[in-house]
Amino acid sequence: MIERNVTVEQLAREARDAFARQFGRPATQVVAAPGRVNLIGEHIDYNDGFVLPMAIERFVVLAADRVTTPLATDHRPGYRVHSLTAGQTESWPWGGAPASGRGSWVSYVWGVLDLCARRQLATGPLDLVVHSSVPIGGGLSSSAALEVATATLVEALTGARLEPADKALLCQRAEHEYAGVPCGIMDQFSSVFGRAEHLILLDCRTRRVELVPLAANDVAVLITNSNVKHALTGGEYAQRRGQCEAAARRLGVASLRDCSLDQLVAHQSALEPILWRRAHHVVSEIARTTQAAAALAQRAWEDVGRLMYASHQSLREDYEVSCDELDVLVDLARERGVPGGVFGSRMTGAGFGGCTVSLVQAHQVDAIAAHLARGYTARTGIAPTMFVSRPAAGAGVVN
Ligand code: GLA
């Protein structure tokens, strides 16, 4: 029922094997970068507020070697990137761009390599294999993990070291400019700053990272993939960003971070209903996130759980980024309740499909997973996939 997480060492072995098969020589560098799950603080990073993600035991692994002989295809040295997940190889000449261009999986690699090269961090021609255990399109930041893995590879190959926040921002820029996705900073920061046994309380305005311990053996973080992804995510995401900016302008603040709940309520008439709902989610979610960080530090699991349910409700009703399948999963979790071992549950990531995150009693996790799987399949006809993750370390070289 619950999928086991493949270790980073195993993924590295598989990536090395694939590299040798694909390119006929051994890889000389292997790096890994984790995906993330956000416990609370959703759609908050681009509003300058607080988010509380953790890196997960799911990784993008890159195996690579520099190219010293010209590419056979066009006799010009360049990049060859083989993705085990996509089952595709993309190649493009040094200084050029991949043919599939903006938005394809390879644009995350290309973007980071290109931005690094512009900063004199040029790797030179390169062959690489991409391997991943982060579900694609599951809202667990497979793209940020790919970007951060690429930046980590550049560091390993050039011997240069990017300052960590700068590295995360470079990866975010690659996502904006090369993949065309106007994301915030949460995913890339999580993949860079992840720490075993810790959540990351990130102040998205100052970019200050505070680590919140989550080393308890009695609680577990259960991630349930609805295995649906409704196609509207891209446009809806940019639209929500625009609505938040419009609400902030109307309220006369730089961002919704600068507005308290009292101030917002006092100015309700200044906002049309849709902007009010968006702003209400953001302002209340920022408060929930700092409260959840404090409750976690006290191991007040039931308080954290209540905040998670409230977050889901706010995302569903005010922010309107949930969907039926995610709501079913959260309802099923709530059915078991605290006596059944569930403290709280909510959708995680951008929404419209993807995963829920639940904080549960570790010893009841199998029964909870069985309950969710049975109920979800009965109500939607879809089988979910589930795994448990402890907070993982951020990106690095795999020896
Ligand atoms: C996506 C984005 C993040 C963040 C979340 C919503 O994962 O990449 O920057 O905005 O959605 O919290």
pLDDT in the model for residue 100: 83
Based on the fold, state whether residues 154 and 14 are members of the same structural domain: yes
Mutational pocket test of ligand 1: of 42, 45, 233, 241, the residue with most ligand atoms within 8 Å of the beta carbon:
45
- Which of these ranges, 77-81, 162-166, 331-335, has the smallest mean pLDDT? 77-81
Residues 180 and 281 in one domain: no
Residues 258 and 290 occupy one common structural domain: yes
Give distance in angstroms: CA of 89 to centre of ligand 1. 28
pLDDT value of residue 77: 76
Looking at the structure, tell me whether residues 185 and 227 fall in a common domain: no
- Give the strand order in the sheet containing 78-83: 88-93, 78-83, 126-132, 53-66, 29-38, 396-397
Structural Rg of the chain based on CA atoms: 21
The pLDDT of residue 357 is above 80: yes
Residue 241 is part of a domain; what is its CATH number? 3.30.70.890
**236 φ, ψ (degrees, to nearest 5):** -65, -35
Active-site position among 65, 187, 203, 366: 187
* 171 and 301 part of one domain: no
How, if at all, do strands 88-93 and 78-83 pair? Answer: antiparallel
In this structure, are 104 and 242 located in the same domain?
Answer: no
Pairing of strands 208-213, 385-388: unpaired
Ligand 1 atom nearest 45 alpha carbon: 10
- Quick check: 46 and 240 in contact, CB under 8 A? no
199 contacts: CB under 8 Å, gap ≥ 6: 39, 52, 53, 54, 211, 212, 213, 214, 293, 296, 391
CB of 153 closer than 8 Å to CB of 62: yes
One domain, residues 136 and 37: yes
pLDDT band at 215 (very low <50, low <70, confident <90, very high): confident
The answer on pLDDT for 139 being more than 60 is yes
List the domain range (segments joined by +) for residue 147: 2-213+392-397
Does residue 137 sit in the same domain as residue 256? no
Q: Are residues 194 and 49 in the same domain?
A: yes
Ligand 1 atom with minimal separation from the 141 CA: 7
74 is annotated as an active-site residue: no
- Taken in order 112, 113, 116, 121, the sign of the CA dihedral is positive
Residue 234's pLDDT band (cuts 50, 70, 90) = low
Residue type, 22: Q
Residue 209 token pair: 């990272």
Identify the residues whose C-beta falls under 6 Å from ligand 1: 38, 42-43, 45-46, 183-184, 186-187, 349-350
- What's the structural domain count of the chain? 2
Q: Tell me: pLDDT of 103 over 90.
A: no
* Mean of all residue pLDDT scores within the chain: 95
What whole-number distance in Å separates Cα of residue 28 and Cα of residue 35?
24
Q: Which atom of ligand 1 is nearest to the CA of 237?
A: 11
Contact 354, 137 (CB under 8 A): yes
Mean pLDDT within 126-146? 95
Q: Say whether both 345 and 320 belong to one domain.
A: yes
**Are 33 and 180 in a shared domain?**
yes
Structure tokens at 205: 């305005």
Query: Each residue of 182-211: pLDDT tens digit?
Result: 999 999 999 999 999 999 999 999 999 999
Question: Which carries the bigger pLDDT value, residue 5 or residue 136?
Answer: 5
Give residue 71's pLDDT.
53
For 146, the enclosing helix (H) or strand (E) is helix 142-158
Residue 399 has a pLDDT of 83
Classified as helix, coil or strand, 353 is strand
65: which strand partners?
127
pLDDT, tens only, 362-397: 999 999 999 999 999 999 999 999 999 999 999 999
Contact between residue 178 and residue 111 where contact means Cβ atoms under 8 Å apart: yes
* Strands, E assignment, the chain: 2-3, 29-38, 50-51, 53-66, 78-83, 88-93, 126-132, 198-203, 208-213, 219-229, 342-348, 353-361, 385-388, 396-397
Q: Identify whether residues 94 and 168 lie together within a single domain.
A: yes
Residue 232 has pLDDT above 70, yes or no: no
- CA dist 243 and 354 (Å) reads 23
Residue 11, domain CATH: 3.30.230.10
Q: For tokens 């009841």, name the residue.
A: 364
Which residue lies with its CA nearest to atom 2 of ligand 1? 183
Task: Report pLDDT digits (tens) over 20-48.
Answer: 999 999 999 999 999 999 999 999 999 99
Using alpha carbons, select from 74, 111, 40, 28 the residue that is nearest to residue 285: 40
Single pTM value for the model = 0.96
